[in-house]
Amino acid sequence: MTRLIKSSSSSFVYFFHVSMTYEKELAAAKKAVSLAVRLSQEVQKSLLQSNVRSKSDKSPVTAADYGSQAVISHVLERELHPEPLYLVAEENAEDLKKDGAEEFLESITKLVNNALASDDSYANSSLSVENVRKAIDHGRSQGGSSGRHWILDPVDGTRGFVKGEEYAVALALLVEGKVVLGVMACPKLENHKSASSGKVGCLFFATEGEGAYVQSLEGDSHPPEKVHVSNIENPEEATFVESSHKPIPIHSSIAKKLGIKAPPLRIHSQVKYAALARGDAEIYLRFTLKGYRENIWNHAAGAIITTEAGGVVCDADGNPLDFSKGKHLEHKTGIVVSTEKLMPRLLQAIRESIEEEIFSL
């Protein structure tokens, strides 16, 4: 069953669908992500390099990563009570239990409470240091093919975040092994509706079978707008995006075979999915080093938003991504995101490039 939600702006009236099956979950997810973004924005404004820590895998982590996860965990648990919360998330509180971490945890707790207090319904729900630590540690679910699991990347693209660049707060819902809902905030992405005012910040959301939408993070007068992937049919005219790390040789080979002459857009995080979902780009390629395992929180929200916008998300063989195998994706090679019109020629170019790489060894 679907309910039509009406929003008005000036003399125009807009309608968008909300699946009654996940209406409550979508509302909770949007509230949780929006509050977490307020926290992350506050941290990014005053972030010093000395505030950036390293995890055991040498990747960077900040108070925003932990604080965002605590906020989202707390809001989901409260908004969806009495349903139990199972959360698959990037962070855990192990490092916050070590000697010398007390001051850092106290600063995170203050950030969490300030973010929650910005919403009237949470004004009187101050959390203790221990509450915050437990909220962070709620993200230890392993996911899988049964039950309901929320999938969270509290600050996707931390390397960009610490430089003041793009990042995303990405949350998705996995039901019986299938992603059915996604909400993603892109605080540094220009809002097309508010471009003339210089405003940035977009909130994308999608529910299975109901399309993908975007609205301003600031909650201005513009209602949610349905987004759709690009209609470009000629691959030579396509724009492709990739991660903001070192250039990947096979990406250049694929682009050359498609006749793409423009250099790639290098963007941090799942903002790449958002760019495709609203037609700013047509191809997203992600080929990583052999042996690297993709985490589901790096793709779940972006994948459903792009798919609901009319895009296709698959591996290099054209198989849909499988989020039902636990915390990591089980796919053969590469992640490929594009439009239905461009995907056949893109997969052909990928196959040819992979074969050439093999023969050159």
Q: What pLDDT is attached to residue 6?
A: 43
Assess whether pLDDT exceeds 60 at residue 169: yes
Assess whether pLDDT exceeds 50 at residue 334: yes
58: left (phi over 0), alpha (psi -120 to 50) or beta: left
Report the half-sphere exposure of 7 (CA within 13 A, side-chain side). 15
Q: What pLDDT is attached to residue 47?
A: 80
Assess whether pLDDT exceeds 50 at residue 322: yes
Give me the mean pLDDT over the 151-176 stretch.
Answer: 95
Alpha-carbon torsion (164, 76, 21, 89), positive or negative = positive
Distance, in Å, from the CA atom of 189 to the CA atom of 166, rounded to the nearest integer, reads 7
In tens, the pLDDT along 220-257 reads 667 899 999 999 999 999 999 998 777 788 999 999 99
Q: Please give the radius of gyration of the chain, using alpha carbons only, rounded to the nearest integer.
A: 20
Q: What's 241's DSSP letter? A: E
**Residue 155: closest CA among 25, 286, 43:** 43
Report the half-sphere exposure of 184 (CA within 13 A, side-chain side). 37
pLDDT band at residue 55, thresholds of 50, 70 and 90?
Answer: confident
**Residue 214: closest CA among 172, 222, 179:** 222
**Residue 230: closest CA among 315, 337, 320:** 337
Distance, in Å, from the CA atom of 32 to the CA atom of 23, rounded to the nearest integer, reads 14
Catalytic residue among 65, 137, 153, 315: 65
pLDDT band at residue 198, thresholds of 50, 70 and 90?
Answer: low
Tell me whether residue 65 is one of the annotated catalytic residues: yes
Q: Out of 39-53, 64-78, 137-151, 203-217, pick the least confident.
A: 39-53
Assess whether pLDDT exceeds 80 at residue 193: no
**Residue 150: closest CA among 159, 161, 142:** 142
Assess whether pLDDT exceeds 80 at residue 50: no
In tens, the pLDDT along 252-305 reads 999 999 999 888 999 989 999 999 999 999 999 999 877 789 999 999 999 999
Tell me whether residue 109 is one of the annotated catalytic residues: no
Catalytic residue among 109, 158, 239, 307: 158
pLDDT band at residue 11, thresholds of 50, 70 and 90?
Answer: very low
Q: What is the DSSP string of 298-360?
A: GTHHHHHHHHHTTEEEEETTSPBP---SSSB---SS-EEEEETTTHHHHHHHHHHHHHHHHHH
Q: Which two tokens stand for residue 179?
A: 């992603």
Q: What pLDDT is attached to residue 281?
A: 97
